[in-house]
Amino acid sequence: MRAPIHSFAPVIRADARILILGSMPGTASLAAAQYYAHPRNQFWPIMDQLYGAGRTLPYALRLEQLQRHGIALWDVLARCVREGSLDAAIEPASAVPNDLPGLLRRHPGIGLVCCNGATAHRLLQRHHGAAFAASLPQLRCLRLPSTSPAHAGVSLAGKLHAWRTALGPAALNRA
């Protein structure tokens, strides 16, 4: 059996209003110890357009810029067994979720959870959907197009539009 891989600690400040969830970092991200490190992942180009948090900034400053705008990052899964980077390769029986309900209790200002792709959304619903519905009825959860290079069915412009719609000023005011 392969050894499990582990996600990163959350990137979050006390004033966070929006939580962006991935499923599990890919191999490039794990190797770099950075969220969304694959050079073709479109997360940072989108964050650059929305918040000025692009790859031209050092990683720590990108994270700071997101947090300044009330954005937090984490993953649905704490650990799993997966060959390669594809979400489809996650062995379901090995998936152990992060304590998202605990994080949300510690950060009650978060009103919006945005899942980066279908797998993150599906895992969130599987592991936490009932708990969120029961204990956090005010929490809005959105599924956004994955920024992964494996999700080529939606153009960068299409992804940017969806992310801008979800995270734009109106979304920040509602969160």
Query: What pairs with residue 141 in β-bridges?
Result: 113
Q: Which fold has domain 5-168?
A: Uracil-DNA Glycosylase, subunit E (3.40.470)
Q: How confident is the model at residue 171 (pLDDT cuts 50, 70, 90)?
A: very low
Active-site positions read: 41
Average pLDDT of span 104-108: 93
What are 40-61's pLDDT values in tens digits? 999 999 999 999 999 999 999 9
Angle 75-76-80 from CA coordinates, rounded to 5°? 95
Percent of the chain with pLDDT over 70: 91
* Tokens encoding 37: 């490190």
